[in-house]
């Protein structure tokens, strides 16, 4: 169900982005004012564009979200505060803590909106570290920063 919601969010997000770009181009007089002037096939092009947006929106969540491994040595009690403070430096706040599992969300409302409210990173304790689940781009940045931080300690 989460996959379908993400795909629909991307479809709406990309549609709005395309509309804003076309509006800006039209406002500055770089393209015509009507759909028939903007696109070669006029309104028939809209169905093609919606199809392309739909295909991209359906595929992207499979590649854009997932789980990555964070390798951190030590007991949970030793590294918990370091993870929470490092995440706070990156703009995340602790949302939930269940045992040795941590869940973080972005603090700023604008940042959360730009991430389409898909900003949660979930740290699930596993052997030798954590499995970090969330947006791949965000989790890779966070994991590399945390591994560098704990490497120095």
pLDDT along the chain (153 residues), means of 10: 90 91 85 77 84 93 91 86 90 90 90 83 91 92 89 66
pLDDT of residue 152: 63
Beta pairing partners, 2 = none
- In whole angstroms, what is the distance from residue 130 CA to residue 99 CA? 13
pLDDT of residue 144: 92
pLDDT of residue 33: 72
pLDDT of residue 27: 86
pLDDT of residue 151: 80
- In whole angstroms, what is the distance from residue 42 CA to residue 37 CA? 7
The model's pTM: 0.77
Residues near 49 by beta carbon (within 8 Å), at least 6 away in sequence: 18, 39
pLDDT of residue 51: 93
pLDDT of residue 110: 87
DSSP symbol at 124 = E
């Amino acid at each position: 169900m989460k996959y379908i919601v993400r795909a629909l969010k991307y479809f709406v997000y990309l549609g709005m982005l395309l509309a804003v770009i076309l509006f800006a181009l039209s406002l500055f007089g770089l393209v015509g004012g009507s759909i028939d002037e903007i696109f070669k096939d006029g309104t028939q092009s809209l169905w093609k564009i919606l199809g392309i947006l739909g295909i991209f929106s359906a595929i992207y969540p499979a590649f854009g979200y997932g789980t990555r491994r964070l390798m951190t040595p030590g007991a949970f009690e030793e590294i918990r505060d370091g993870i929470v403070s490092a995440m706070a430096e990156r703009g995340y706040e602790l949302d939930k803590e269940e045992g040795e599992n941590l869940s973080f969300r972005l603090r700023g409302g604008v940042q959360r909106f730009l991430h389409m409210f898909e900003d949660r990173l979930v740290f699930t304790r596993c052997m030798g570290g954590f499995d970090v689940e969330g947006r791949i781009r965000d989790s890779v940045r966070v994991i590399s920063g945390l591994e560098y931080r704990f490497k120095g300690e």
